[in-house]
A and B are shown apart, each in its own frame.
Chain A
Amino acid sequence: MTDTLRRPYVAVPDVAESVISMVDVGMTYPNGKVALVDVNVNIPEGDFVFLVGPSGAGKSTFIRLLIREQLPTTGRVVVAGRDLSTMRRGQVPALRRRIGIVFQDFRLLPAKTVYENVAFALEVTGATSAEIRKRVPRLLNLVGLHEHDDHLPTQLSGGEQQRTAIARALVHDPAMLIADEPTGNLDPVTSWDLIQLLIQINAMGTTVLMATHNQEIVNAMRRRVLALEHGTLVRDESGAAYEREY
C-alpha cells in the first residue's frame, strides 16, 4: 500500500461514449458520513468492470447512485445518456429497466416459482401475457434453468437461485448488468459457473459491472478494475489484478 495508490484516480470523462459516467461525484450522507469523494469514472458500452474495495469503501453507494436510489451531493452521474440529477421521478422506472441488478442474497420471492419470479418483473411493468410467455422461457434457457422453471427458490441451489436472479435482471434487455457481490454466497465451483454466464451475457453486448471481494476471479479474468477506498477511487486499471490497496 503506497501513498501513490491512495491518491484519487482522475480519468478524463468522455460522457458521450459511456454507458456509465461519473463526473466529480461526491456523496455525503445526512449523518455526515462521507461515502464517495470526487469520483470520475467512464464505462463504455460492452465493458466488463470489477468494482473492488473493502467493506465501507463506497461500493454500495456507487451502485445506489447508478440506479438512482440516491442522488450525489456533488457532481453528476450519467447513465445511458441520462443525467440522473435532472431526471424526473416519473422517469426513474424507465431508467431501471435499462439496468439489470443482482445481489449477493438473490432477493427472489420465495412463494413464486423460477418462472413466476422472472415473469413478475415483466408483469409489474405492464408486459402482456404473450410477451411474458415469449421472453421468460428464452431467458431461463439462457441461464440454464429451463428445466427448473416450476421449482421454488427453496428447491434450488445457491447458484441456481443466482441464475434465476440474473434471468430476472435481464427481462428488459438492459444496457448494463450490475452484480453486487453475486458470488458472495456461492462455493468456488459455482462461482466460476456464474462468472461464465456473466461473460456470456457481456459477450452479447451487455455492459457488466461486478462488485466483488473475490480475488481469485478478478485475478483470473484480467478485466478492468475500479478500486475504491474510503470513498475515493484509488485505481482504475484495465486488464488488472486484485491488489490490496487497503
Chain B
Amino acid sequence: MPLVRFIAFSVVRAWQGFWRNAMMSLAATSTVVLMLVLLSGLLIVLAGLDSGLQYIESKVGVTARLIDNLPQEEVDALVLDISALPGVAKVDYISPETALERLKEFYREQGQQLDLGGAEITLYASVEILLTDPNQAGAVQGALEGRPEVERITTRQVDYQKLLGIIGYVRTVGIIALGLVGLTVLFMIVNMIRIAVYSRSNEIEIMRLVGASDSFIRWPFILEGILCGVIGAVVTIILVAVAWEPIKPIMVRVFQMPTAVSTEFLAVLSAVILGVGLGVGAVGSWISVRANLSSTA
C-alpha cells in the first residue's frame, strides 16, 4: 500500500506539474512529436527500402542466354558445370517453351492477353542461376563469360548495389538528423524540468523540512519528463495512424512491396515510438533532476 500511495502521489504531482508550466511542457512535447515523426518517417522509408532490397536480393542471380538450338546434352553439361561453381544455390534451365509460357503469364497478370496476331515466336533458351550471396554474381558471371554455349549474360547485381548504397545513405542521414533532433528534445526536457524544479523550490524546501524522502521529491519530476515523452509518443502514433491509409498506396507504388506497410509493421512502429518517447522523457528528466535537485543535505 505505501508503494501504491507513493506511485499515486508521484503521478498526480507529475500531472499537475506538467500543466502548471503548460507552455514549456507543450513546447517540449512538440519537439518530442517532431522527433518521433521524423523517426517514424525514417523507419517507414527504411522498411520500404529494406523490403525492396530483400526482393532484389531474392531476384539477384545471373541469367545466361543460350545460343539457339543447343543440344540437350550440352545444356545438361552446362547446368552441371554451373552448379559446381561456388555461391550457386540453384540452376534452372528455361526452355523457349517455358519462356513463352512465362511471357503469357506476365501479360495475364497485367490483365492483358499476349496477342501475336497469329504469328509464332520462339524465345531464347536460358539458364537462371540463383545465388546464395548476391555478391557472388560477379564471380559467376566471370566463369560463364567465354563459354561457347552462352550468348549473353545479365545480372541485377548493379540494381542491388545501387539500392544498398541508397539505404546506407538514407540510414546515415536519418540517424544524424534524428541524433540532432534527439539532442534538442533532451535539451527541451532538461530545461522543462529545470524550470519546474525552480518554480517549485518552495514546495521542495518544505517537503525536505517536513521529512519527505528523496523519492517523494524526485520521482514526480522524473515522471513529468516521462509524461512529456509519452504524450508526445501518443500524439505521434495518432498522427501516423491517421496518415497510414494515404501512405500505404504511396509506399506500395514507390517500393512495390506491400509488406512494408502491413498492420504488423504499424504495430511494431507504434511500440518503437512509445518506447523512444518514454525513454527520451525519462533520460531528460533524470539528467535534469540529478543536475538541479541536490540530495537531502
Contacts and interface: CB of A to CB of B under 8 A. Distances in A.
Interface of A: 67-70, 89-90, 92-97, 101, 107, 109, 120-121, 123-126, 128, 168-169, 171-172
B9 A126 contact: yes
Interface size class of B (residues with CB under 8 A): 20 to 34
Nearest to B5: A126
A89 B210 contact: no
Given A93-B296, A95-B211, A120-B210, 7 more contacts: A90-B214, A92-B296, A92-B297, A96-B208, A96-B209, A107-B206, A124-B9
A93 B212 contact: yes
Given A126-B9, A126-B216, A93 B203 contact: no
Interface string B226-266: 00000000000000000000000000000000000000000
Contact of B210 (A68, A92, A125): A125
A13 to B, nearest CB: 25
B117 interface: no
B295 interface: yes
Nearest to A112: B203
Contacts of B271: none
B106 interface: no
Given A123-B9, A126-B2, A126-B216, A109 B206 contact: yes
24 contacts: A69-B297, A89-B214, A90-B214, A92-B297, A93-B208, A93-B211, A93-B214, A94-B211, A96-B208, A96-B210, A97-B210, A107-B202, A109-B202, A109-B203, A120-B210, A121-B206, A123-B9, A124-B216, A125-B210, A126-B2, A128-B1, A128-B5, A168-B210, A172-B211
Nearest to A165: B206
B268 to A, nearest CB: 39
Please report whether the interface of chain B is mostly helix, strand, loop or mixed according to DSSP.
helix
Contacts of B217: 124
A125 B211 contact: yes
Contacts of B216: 124-126
B68 interface: no
A124 B210 CA distance: 8
B207 interface: yes
Contacts of A95: 211
